[in-house]
Structure 1
């Protein structure tokens, strides 16, 4: 069933404006539903306007106020995404009486993201960083410890606890018969995936800091859409990371995370952006950033993410022509943990912990990124040199309060090479094996997606290792030439002396 007509009807009735002579919606073979130019669209053209009042967030939903803001904060619903997930669950449970019913009905109900893969399917992602970033266990802990206590009546054993539970429960807001329908773990994951793939991070204007307003979006949080401020604004733009943030991020209030109707309909592809969402005082405006020819897809941007992140967040990958003639994502990267350098160097455990802790205190990361330019990360070089310091050198380094300079000599290059080889061995198959498998047209979607991610990362590792080998061979040849020249010079000197 095509949900677009009902969505547009809701959008227009809610005060939104779409230039229907310029923008249409269609299903594209490789990326599903998206926006298409119905005629040539000039640069700077406003494609649609979204009133701030129809953004869906914990600020605009009435649920937090019904529960009580003190109770809401006591339950830590203002931290992370669990509060917005509950708001979306509750708004869905209201059916047609919800302000956002026409929008919520248009959102996807199933996802191809690894959050919903089986263990067998996830095994295909071994070696990548995708599985470790899913945060499924953390999500389910939030569901059990934060969300459920708000929506269901507990069954304590003693009378005092039972009376307390009754006082805190709100069957007027969460009728018991709705809980197994709208507030399940499965739906929790679906709502979280909707936020991960479609939400925006909304920051208030300075003029709004002391007033309760609907808010306005100025940046994307793990979203298909990127947002720019007007030139006179100075607020920063940044991307979010994961559906379930780490502990530090969880401590931050996230009332600004919002669902932005219609803006989340646009697809994205590496380097293809031709439209951008701009922040205004009263609304958000999707504006063309270049000429868009009739029939072309209207693309926003994910921020040119690697395929591992595209798969984790959105359930798809980019396959574009690469400079070497192959297909892949130019933005692919390989994550390398500090543990690999430690394992290669086989350093003392206590010494390693002390130095890694100091490295982190200095602003270093425990994960470095190898990119498709095949340049060895300077942070990896500095870290290796730090771990190889003698005790005296270590004490001097701490006294100077500066990490070692990323000087890449032959000994460090040997360690880098061993680290990358160890990283490559973390995958269960070789690059050639994966390339051959990709030619199998009977592959399942999940296996094909996993193969694309793996091959992209393995190419970077293998090509970087090949580059290192060439560098080392050139260095040996250079040493040999220098030694030969030195020997010739010694020979000439000896002959002169004999004469």
Structure 2
């Protein structure tokens, strides 16, 4: 790590070494530190675009040939960038990125590298389905291995067992997953000036938002692969020096901006001497922080307890579909439900309902989706003709049924966890708990907390005076008359 800044400067990078330094932080690894008080708007360093490592800047693609590159599908997803990084690493001192690659971590605490027993601790969370280890290894064997064997002049046979192994593939993929940025080509038609590409990613759009740490194709669930493949894989780049900054929820004080020839890290608020310089990965939930970076964020929460304010829980839409099918309301058939789901996907694009920790009410999308499933045949024909989803509000006609389906669906999702939240809290009180176990418990407890809170909100709505009145009307009961006060 001592050689990183000298190498960076030797390659045309500019660093304000009077204010900006590197330090090792307990539990976080290496990061950036303010050596002096730094004002807002201060440029900490500038990275030349030519120093970013991508399939565009690496010579391998030209040497391999773009047609052959496409033949092995290396232009799809991130397999091509991983291969570029493996090739550059194999060149050792002949690669201009040698010192940079040597500074990157080779050990990760992410679930990609957990044992089967350790992964059991994440049972029920949304993390397990997104690790994508099998998909990553399929890319390695179906794309990278055939490409490497086809060009022994570029990938020396004596290098194969050292630089091009599955283990190195996973390491390079994890480096990309945790450290890469989207660096688009400079659009000369735009006005001159700085354009933000910092890691300020919307947590709901981490795969699409410009300029942040990215998801690795092959380490994602298949649901996102189409979106990833439709983007230009050449935009994904490793950005030396920018990726050394750590991140923590709500702590960011610097941001990456790009210009025509360079990328600049600029402070977004004053930073005191000795403080860590933070970028942001977006306000990500602990499930994503653990999957990508191998850590979690824990804070005191406004409503009591501890957790990450950005936590979410994902409920697959088919949980609610199966519930509706099981009771077959109003003659709704499986075929009709498929049509309704197609309309939902066309109009919303989501097959997963997301509930956020800070949701004060039932998410509108969840209400709209369940209402769509429960439409009478006549109302469905009208909705289909208009290609319009139901409004996200509880009505007198279907409000009780909607609440009942939502409650059952949330309970089913909660039941996927093998332990209770009380059991999780008891485990977290143990001082000798291994870090991986602790992180897994924090993630699953966070998801359970959200589900339990939302179930309470649904219960309050079901038991509200207005709802009780609706129940009596539906049961044919006479509304109780208000008693006159005696005088």
Q: Check whether TM > 0.5.
A: yes
- Equivalent residues of 1:79, 1:250 under 8 A apart: yes
Residue 476 of structure 1 deviates from its aligned partner by 6.1
Aligned to 1:352: 337
1:177 to 146, 151, 158: 158
- Equivalent residues of 2:43, 2:267 under 8 A apart: yes
Aligned to 1:294: 273
Q: How does 1:62-461 map to 2 (within 5 A)?
A: 62-152=59-149, 169-207=150-188, 219=197, 225-226=199-200, 240-244=214-218, 246-248=224-226, 249-345=228-324, 346=326, 347=328, 348-374=333-359, 375-408=361-394, 409-461=399-451
SS in 2 for 1:488: coil
User: Does the C-alpha gap of structure 1 residues 371 and 386 become closer, same or farther in structure 2, counting only changes over 3 Å?
Assistant: same
Structure 1 segments, 4+ long, off by >6 Å, are: 480-485
Q: Unaligned regions of 5+ residues in structure 2, if any?
A: 202-208
Larger radius of gyration: 1
User: Does the C-alpha gap of structure 1 residues 134 and 150 become closer, same or farther in structure 2, counting only changes over 3 Å?
Assistant: same
Residue 414 of structure 1 deviates from its aligned partner by 1.6
What number of residue pairs does the alignment pair up?
Answer: 455
* Mapped partners of 1:64, 1:329: distance in 2: 42
- Equivalent residues of 2:286, 2:296 under 8 A apart: yes
SS in 2 for 1:142: helix
Residue 471 of structure 1 deviates from its aligned partner by 2.6
Structure 1, residues 77-119: CA drift from partner, whole Å, max 9, x if none? Answer: 1111000000000000000110100100000001000011111
* Mapped partners of 1:46, 1:303: distance in 2: 21
- Equivalent residues of 1:202, 1:218 under 8 A apart: no
- Equivalent residues of 1:133, 1:242 under 8 A apart: no
Structure 1, residues 210-268: CA drift from partner, whole Å, max 9, x if none? Answer: xxxxxx99636xxxx449xxxxxxx9656644443544122543011100001000000
- Equivalent residues of 2:295, 2:439 under 8 A apart: yes
Aligned to 2:206: none
User: Does the C-alpha gap of structure 1 residues 473 and 73 become closer, same or farther in structure 2, counting only changes over 3 Å?
Assistant: same
